Structure 1
Amino acid sequence: MTVLASSAPVLEVSALTRAFGGLVAVNVIDLAVHSGEIVGLLGPNGSGKTTALNLISGVLRPDSGTIRFAGQAINGMPAHRIARLGLARTFQLVRVLKGMSCAENVKAGLVFHRPPLSRGEIDESVDRLLRHVGLSDRGGLPAAGLTYIDCKRLELARALALKPRLLLLDEWLAGLNPSELLIGIELIRSLKEEGLSILLVEHVMDAIRSLCDRCVVMNSGRRIAEGRPDEVLADPAVIEAYLGVSPGVSTDA
């Protein structure tokens, strides 16, 4: 059963700004994610997308602007407190705890579950989450021995252990082969059907067209477009940001 996006915003970002010295990486950005919605955060490399996710998740503190999650102001709040509120994320460079087993990695995420779980509930949740991401019967395996795609699955299972209301995915589909990509798209779609809201940073256009309800496009720290995937991907400003030239302009000498 597909859960339709409601008008209630899970995430509201207003005038968000962060500079590193003279470089303004995120420049007065506004965006919102509604309940049950997948929003794509797009833009060329260096446009500020990952910095925006770091600000939203508490990895970085904003210089100015507001971030409201489920109606509560979270800008400047430490990452562990934001996680406990139900905001989870994955990282552009996969982060698994390689000195632990797959099951122990997921248990590390369950530490943030509210209310706290009993030992039996933890074991049941670990099995369910590993099965959900396609890692059934691998709980006892060391995370250090996983393939790249399975490391991504494990990181996702650990994020889902929070039972989040909002999931931030930073290029989770990057580096997958065509068959793995199809599996990954279906997995993300299943999370939306379960009612999870997702902010998705991605460069894989097939995934963006297939998954996203709306897209926000950044370039040089600023928002340059917002709308349905087909609209923003045809926007001349977006094409120029990605290609470096205006549509229809010849690059021949």
Structure 2
Amino acid sequence: MRTATNVISLRGATKQFGGLVAVDNMDFDVTEHEVKGLIGPNGSGKSTTLNLISGALTPSDGEIVLRGTPITGLPAKDIARLGVSRTFQLVRLLPSMTVLENVMAGAVFGHRRRWGRAAEQHAMAILEKVGMARQARAHFSQLTYIDTKRVELARALAGEPEVLLLDEWLAGLNPTELQAGIELIHALRDEGRTIILVEHVMDAIRSLCDSCVVMSSGKKIAEGTPEEVLSDPDVVRAYLGDEDA
């Protein structure tokens, strides 16, 4: 039987802001081609954990490893070039650039760098994948909310990452947009991508994730399949409170 290969591993990953411990001794692995959900109540440390993996924040303690290579404390640009791309809770596009130029930036500065005509052709192929090819020459101000999310995802994909981090990518979408968004992530999953997603939409968690880590007050309180963790009394208590658990 073939053993699953760990792509990302966290061991004792901790982040303190003064006296506040936002992420407390976090341990988990993400294996090749796995979709790992990171779930929990607001303020539980999920996005901070993604920030530690992507290099946006430096851990106060612990280790983060990418395919056997420690990346703990490396600058975000170096981690991106090693193959980790992400989206953000609040979409971060370059407003002075067109849709195509935003995605080309991901191709230029990502894991596998492309330049000039090669970068443009690659960016157009990615825009086609996310359903934005017809708006390649549009600017940020001309886009709907879900389209800005599609462009940010395309930019993340343009660097051909080994690990894709999605931080509440489905948040704020209406029901039709939400279904389209889930189908798009499904397609990425079916391509065999390794994904860590922070999400509150439980239908998406059940549909997309192979396994989940549940956080509460910075700590991991459960880990397992979506079915296992969502029926765990500790998880129910964390979401609903003691009276409803």
For this structure pair, what is the TM-score category when the shorter chain's length is used for normalisation? over 0.9
Cα deviation, residue 184, structure 1: 0.7
In structure 2, how many angstroms separate the alpha carbons of the residues matched to 1:116 and 1:91?
A: 22
User: Is the Cα–Cα contact under 8 Å of residues 9 and 33 in structure 1 kept in the other structure?
Assistant: yes
Specify whether residues 31 and 114 from structure 1 end up closer, same or farther in structure 2 by C-alpha distance, changes over 3 A only: closer
Name which of 209, 215, 219 aligns with 2:216: 219
Equivalent residue number for residue 70 of structure 1:
67
Identify which range, 222-231 or 105-114, moves more after superposition. 105-114
1:149-164 matches, cutoff 5 A: 149-164=146-161
1:99 aligns with 2:111: no
Equivalent residue number for residue 251 of structure 1:
none
In structure 2, how many angstroms separate the alpha carbons of the residues matched to 1:51 and 1:237?
A: 22
1:49 aligns with 2:46: yes
Q: TM-score, normalised by structure 1?
A: 0.93
Read off the aligned partner of 2:83 and give its amino acid letter.
G
In structure 2, how many angstroms separate the alpha carbons of the residues matched to 1:6 and 1:109?
A: 32
For structure 2, list consecutive stretches of 5 or more residues without a partner in the other structure. Answer: none
Specify whether residues 114 and 212 from structure 1 end up closer, same or farther in structure 2 by C-alpha distance, changes over 3 A only: closer
In structure 2, how many angstroms separate the alpha carbons of the residues matched to 1:159 and 1:59?
A: 15
Cα deviation per residue 1:189-218 (whole Å; 9 max; x = unaligned)?
111111210001000000000000000000
In structure 2, how many angstroms separate the alpha carbons of the residues matched to 1:114 and 1:213?
A: 25
Cα deviation, residue 117, structure 1: 2.4
Equivalent residue number for residue 119 of structure 2:
122
Equivalent residue number for residue 241 of structure 2:
244
In structure 1, how many angstroms separate the alpha carbons of the residues matched to 2:28 and 2:165?
A: 14
SS at match of 2:235: helix
Specify whether residues 6 and 83 from structure 1 end up closer, same or farther in structure 2 by C-alpha distance, changes over 3 A only: farther
Give the number of equivalent residue pairs.
244
% identical aligned pairs: 55
Q: Which runs of 4+ in 1 moved over 6 A?
A: none
Cα deviation, residue 115, structure 1: 4.6
1:11 aligns with 2:42: no
Name which of 200, 220, 224 aligns with 2:197: 200
Cα deviation per residue 1:3-56 (whole Å; 9 max; x = unaligned)?
xx9600110000000111111000000011111110000000000000100011
Cα deviation, residue 99, structure 1: 1.4
User: Is the Cα–Cα contact under 8 Å of residues 109 and 161 in structure 1 kept in the other structure?
Assistant: yes
Q: TM-score, normalised by structure 2?
A: 0.96
Cα deviation, residue 119, structure 1: 2.2
In structure 1, how many angstroms separate the alpha carbons of the residues matched to 2:145 and 2:3?
A: 35
Cα deviation, residue 135, structure 1: 0.4
Cα deviation, residue 120, structure 1: 2.4
Specify whether residues 174 and 6 from structure 1 end up closer, same or farther in structure 2 by C-alpha distance, changes over 3 A only: farther
Specify whether residues 197 and 218 from structure 1 end up closer, same or farther in structure 2 by C-alpha distance, changes over 3 A only: same
Equivalent residue number for residue 169 of structure 1:
166
Cα deviation, residue 143, structure 1: 1.7
